[in-house]
Every structure is written in C-alpha cells, then in structure tokens.
C-alpha cells in the first residue's frame, strides 16, 4: 500500500485509516476504513525520514524489534540503530504529513516533545485552537 493515498482520521477517540483510492459508499458516502486503533505508531529511518511501517503500536513495535534483530544479525548495526518508532496519541495532521511528505518524520521527531496531545487537539473547537 502506498502511503501517499492513505489518511488517518480521528473520530470518537479512535484513529481510522482510509485509502483515498477507495470509492465512497453510495449509501453512506463514506469510505471503508482499513484500520481502527486507539493509538498510532510510525516506524521510520531517523536519517532519511522514510516510513517503513505504521499502524497499531503493538504490531509496529514488534515489527521494529524483529527488524532490528535481523539487521544486527546481518552485521548492519547502523541501519538497526537508525530505525525509530514513535507512538502515542499523535496529532492527526502530523501523522498525515508523515504519510504524505517524504522525510517529514524527521521534522516531527525533532518537535515531538512540543507537539500537542493528539486526541485533546481534536476535541478543541476552532476558537480554542486559535486562542492556544
């Protein structure tokens, strides 16, 4: 699945992953979601920002652990050390920028400590967001 066609949307405290290539339902007008999760994790290369995996944190952390182990066993310690996993209630727009913009994950990682809590940001009204 190509990342550029994927978008996360936060609804009722859950992140829904949609593929924008899917046609909306003629009955509901909404696309079918590919994934529903409480938190999101993104695994990427710390130097290039290339996304390797994204989705449910347990699956992504498990994938990263196995990938690091295989890379180290093959002698590629540098690649194993560059593999970063960021997870939690990330802001919806930041997650989608990571999927849409090549290398954006590096910028997000640098600002991670100052990013707002993703689910609290979504609940704020537009007036509250402007005041913040």
Predicted structure pTM score = 0.82
Q: What is the dihedral of CA 68, 74, 77, 82, to 10 degrees?
A: -40
Report the chain's mean pLDDT, rounded to a whole number: 87
Q: Which band of pLDDT confidence, cut at 50, 70 and 90, is reported for residue 22?
A: confident
Which residues constitute the domain of residue 8?
3-121
pLDDT, tens only, 68-124: 999 999 999 999 999 999 999 999 999 999 999 999 999 999 998 888 876 665 554
- Domain assignment of residue 126, yes or no: no
pLDDT of 132 reads 42
- Domain assignment of residue 132, yes or no: no
Number of domains in the chain: 1
Q: Which band of pLDDT confidence, cut at 50, 70 and 90, is reported for residue 1?
A: very low
- Domain assignment of residue 128, yes or no: no
Which are the contacts of 55, defined by CB distance < 8 A and separation ≥ 6?
17, 35, 37, 40, 41
- Domain assignment of residue 96, yes or no: yes
């Amino acid at each position: 699945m190509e990342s550029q066609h994927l978008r996360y949307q936060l609804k009722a405290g859950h992140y829904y992953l949609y593929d924008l290539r899917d046609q909306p339902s003629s009955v509901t007008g909404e696309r079918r979601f590919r994934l529903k999760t409480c938190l999101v994790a993104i695994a990427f290369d710390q130097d290039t920002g290339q996304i390797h995996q994204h989705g449910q944190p347990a699956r992504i952390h498990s994938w990263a652990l196995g990938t690091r182990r295989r890379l180290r066993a093959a002698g590629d310690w540098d690649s194993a050390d560059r593999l970063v996993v960021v997870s939690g209630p990330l802001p919806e727009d930041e997650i989608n920028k990571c999927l849409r913009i090549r290398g954006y994950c590096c910028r997000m990682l640098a600002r991670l400590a100052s990013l707002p809590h993703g689910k609290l940001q979504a609940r704020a009204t537009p007036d509250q967001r402007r005041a913040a």
